[in-house]
Amino acid sequence: MSRLSAWRQWLAAARTRPGAYVAVAATLLGAYALFGTGMVAYTHAVTQGRIAANEREQLMRAIGTVLPANVYDNDPLRDTRRLYAPKWLGADTAQVVYRARRGGRPAAAVFSVVAPDGYGGPIHLLVCVAADGRVLGVRVVSHQETPGLGDAIDSAHSNWVGGFAGRRLGDPPLKRWKVKRDGGVFDQFTGATISPRAVVGAVRRCLQYFRAHREAVFASAAGQRSVQEENNDE
């Protein structure tokens, strides 16, 4: 007799005993529920892993636009800390800084910076500063500026942000870290001054923060939060 035939006979017999039949039905339902729950958990775990891997890849790609690969040999995504400095980094929450090192020595830091005074709202940036205070790169990662005007801050529309590379505090002098319309050295756009003005100000404040807190930025343990709101006006 096959196992299937035996199972059918057993089930038919169980139907004549209501208590036994209910017990069998409950057991089967429990097994199905347990199997379904396990499958959902497994699918969630696999999906979450893929999502995390994709997010990591996208973040590393964004960081790679401002951080040259030849300046570091560590993993900046693992060497991070959170900085709470609303006056200098522009956000009311702690922002992540990604630290690049070469041979264990500080090479550069990639700051998550917010320019809160954009024309269409906050402008989110990545600002990479070399250990010696030079700007290695700036990228706008999100904004709501006017298409065809203020959106030229975005590298997808122009190379305007490329003009920060190699600059530092003192080059130009601090008082000239402005758009030309305000007496500075950075270009504004025809019909749009607010957007570039906001970005220039955000980059300048980030450099001021870095100059005042360079040792702390690189010295703290990965993941440690810093609260630093000293007055760094110069």
pTM value is 0.73
pLDDT value, residue 14: 58
CA torsion angle 202 204 209 210 (round to 10): 110
Note whether 122 and 115 are within 8 A (CB).
Answer: yes
- The confidence score (pLDDT) of residue 43 equals 59
Q: Are 147 and 128 spatial neighbours (Cβ–Cβ below 8 Å)?
A: no
Return the residue matching tokens 């929450």.
Answer: 93
- The helix/strand/coil state of 95 is strand
Q: What is the pLDDT of residue 2?
A: 64
Instruction: Return the C-alpha torsion angle 186, 201, 65, 224, nearest 10.
Output: 160
Q: What is the pLDDT of residue 231?
A: 42
What is the pLDDT, as a whole number, of residue 77?
92
CA dist 108 and 92 (Å) reads 24
CA distance 81 to 64: 18
Q: Would residue 40 be called left, alpha or beta, if left means φ above 0 and alpha means ψ between -120 and 50 degrees?
A: alpha
How far apart, in whole angstroms, are the C-alpha atoms of residue 189 and residue 36?
58
Q: How far is CA 155 from CA 55, 140, 200, 232, in A?
A: 21, 7, 15, 30
Q: What pLDDT score was predicted for residue 40?
A: 64
Provide the strand spans (E) within the chain: 80-84, 95-102, 105-115, 123-130, 135-142, 225-227
Query: Which of 131, 133, 146, 140 lies closest to 204, judged by CA?
Result: 133
As given in the structure block, the two tokens for residue 173 are: 């002098």
Q: Are 187 and 196 in contact (CB under 8 A)?
A: yes
Q: Give me Rg for the CA atoms of the chain.
A: 28
The tens-digit pLDDT sequence of the chain (234 residues) is 566 666 566 566 656 666 655 666 666 666 666 666 666 666 555 566 665 555 556 677 889 999 999 999 999 999 999 999 999 999 999 999 999 999 999 999 999 999 999 989 999 999 999 999 999 999 999 888 878 888 899 988 899 999 999 999 999 999 999 999 999 999 999 888 999 999 999 999 999 999 999 999 998 666 556 555 444 444
What pLDDT, on the 0 to 100 scale, is given for residue 190?
A: 85
